[in-house]
With several copies, the nearest count.
Chain A
Amino acid sequence: MKKINKNQLKQLVEAALFVADSPMTKLALRDTILAEFTVSERALNEVLKELVLDYQPRGIQLVEVASGYRFQSLDSLSPWLSRMWQESAPRYSRAMLETLALIAYRQPITRGEIEAVRGVAVSSNIIRTLTEREWIKVVGHKEVPGRPSLYATTRQFLDYFSLKSLADLPSSEVFEALDDNEPSPSTATLEAPSESDRAIETANIKREENE
């Protein structure tokens, strides 16, 4: 059995914990990298303790978990580190878009009322997704049996669609036009009045902008 000086021991233990695929116990260290060295329990403990201290001010930390020692990122850095992994959420379903549209146009509205219009149940998943995206929120409860939540759109919803207020949502004539024209968007006659109407209305609404 060979001797190993403390500095080498520290480098070796440090490197091993960093290259290991999972946390390593002191026993695992002894069975692998330290197999040919005589290392006292005290020396090993000391080195581990020093490493914990060395990394205290750094972006990663040496921690002891149930299955051994491992290096992990500093908890407070997580909001930024999270950006290193991005996953794209799937596109919204028709049910999701219709629910959102009904909440936007008919707010405040209960889930039951949405279901009444759509003729099908609204899944909790849809409500959760829209709530998590902070596009809708509960603004109150309808005082009927069961006190269902009343949903409305949020400031974030308006911001996302660059709307100053809900009044800027295209009106029924516009979407009639949109719908009819879907294959051929050339018909301007239907769009024209909505433009001027909008101007008047925008003037009316201006004051609400920074409520």
Chain B
Amino acid sequence: MAEEQQEPVVSTPIQQPLPLAFINGEAVIEKPEDLYIPPDALEVILETFEGPLDLLLYLIRKQKFDIVTLPVAAITVQYMEYVEVMKTLKLELAAEYLLMAAILAEIKSRLLLPRRSDEEDDEEDPRAELIRRLKEYEAVKEAAQTLDEQPRMERDIFAVKADVAESVQPLRIEPDVSLQEIVLAFSHAMKRAAAFEHHTIEREALSTRERMSQILAQVNGETYTPLDALFTLEEGRAGVVVSFLAILELVKEQLLMCVQTGPFARIHVKLGRHEED
């Protein structure tokens, strides 16, 4: 703050080694008060600026000015010198740099105009908008730098992964099937097979066929199973009838054979067909 009126030293060119460093891509130049810098080095410096605001901020910081007091005249002189160098180097001079030069010139001229006597007028400080932009840009610059320092994947932190045990198998989601699809599929199959009569598939037969499957699962081909073991009395008469029909059907289809050793002896069944038939 104390240095706010300090004029920049526009010194005569003095050849000096270039103390130039880059920290996080930001050009840190100790006192290049002169502009007599080897052209290719300057090109590198200029290219590190992210635009006119960045260059202005750099100039302000270099001279230890306070943004809020922005000594427009001094800054403008320095800024124009840089822009001139850019021109002579035929650097691809972004329009933004020239636009900023125009803004600076405009502010400077407005500051030179004599102020009206009345203090209370709403004539605003011509520097205000530029100061606001500079402050805002500086905040962005800082934020970008902090963001860059934030621990991040690939550089500071790495994804951690354990293998799955061999026994982990992806869960298979089986397709949905509707009852209607099954019914239609059966209908189609039956229609194609001309030999079949649709009506033979009766509902009655279905409960019998289900019982046939159950009985088949109950008996085996090695030992005989007593016939009465295939009836469940608790099912009542209808159940017994279904079982009986199922057994008859199984015998008819030669899946089951019944054996009776003598009159009124227990009937036994086992898988297989009667060879002697």
**Which of A72, A77, A133 is packed against the most chain B CB atoms within 10 Å?**
A72
Contact with A along B24-47 (1 / 0, CB 8 A): 111000000000000000000000
**In the complex, A116→B189 CA distance in Å?**
11
B164, B184, B193, B236: the one contacting A119 at CB < 8 Å is B193
The interface residues of chain A lying within 8 Å CB-to-CB of B53 are 118-119
**In the complex, A150→B213 CA distance in Å?**
9
Contact of B167 with A87 in the complex, beta carbons under 8 Å: no
Is B92 part of the binding interface, using a Cβ–Cβ cutoff of 8 Å? no
Contact of B160 with A150 in the complex, beta carbons under 8 Å: no
Contact of A175 with B184 in the complex, beta carbons under 8 Å: yes
Which B residues have a C-beta under 8 Å from some C-beta of A?
Answer: 24-26, 50-54, 68, 94, 96, 100, 122, 124-126, 128-129, 131-133, 135-137, 139-175, 177, 179-190, 192-193, 196, 198-199, 201-204, 206-207, 209-214, 216-217, 219-221, 232, 234-236, 238-239, 242, 254-255, 257, 271-273
**Residue on A with the closest CB to B55?**
A119
Contact of B209 with A166 in the complex, beta carbons under 8 Å: yes
Contact of B171 with A87 in the complex, beta carbons under 8 Å: yes
The interface residues of chain A lying within 8 Å CB-to-CB of B135 are 178
Known contacts A140-B216, A192-B124, A192-B128; A89 and B155 CB within 8 A of each other: yes
Contact of A74 with B144 in the complex, beta carbons under 8 Å: no
**Residue on B with the closest CB to A147?**
B221
Known contacts A117-B193, A162-B157; A101 and B151 CB within 8 A of each other: no
| 13 more CB-based (< 8 A) A-B contacts, given A102-B143, A169-B206 | A75-B165, A78-B168, A95-B50, A97-B147, A98-B141, A139-B214, A140-B216, A141-B271, A144-B273, A161-B152, A170-B150, A178-B184, A178-B187
CB within 8 Å of B: which of A119-134? Answer: 119-121, 133
Contact of B201 with A171 in the complex, beta carbons under 8 Å: yes
CB within 8 Å of B: which of A48-96? Answer: 60, 70-75, 77-78, 81-83, 85-95
Contact of A100 with B206 in the complex, beta carbons under 8 Å: no
Contact of A19 with B152 in the complex, beta carbons under 8 Å: no
Contact with B along A137-176 (1 / 0, CB 8 A): 0011111100000101100000111110111011110111
Contact of B147 with A104 in the complex, beta carbons under 8 Å: yes
Is A15 part of the binding interface, using a Cβ–Cβ cutoff of 8 Å? yes
The range of chain A's interface size is 35 or more
**In the complex, A100→B147 CA distance in Å?**
9
The interface residues of chain B lying within 8 Å CB-to-CB of A97 are 144-145, 147-148, 177, 181-182, 185
Contact of B255 with A140 in the complex, beta carbons under 8 Å: yes
Q: List 24 A-B contacts (CB under 8 A).
A: A19-B158, A72-B165, A78-B156, A81-B158, A82-B168, A86-B170, A87-B173, A89-B174, A90-B154, A94-B24, A97-B145, A101-B147, A101-B185, A117-B133, A117-B136, A118-B53, A133-B174, A139-B216, A140-B217, A140-B219, A144-B254, A167-B203, A207-B239, A208-B211
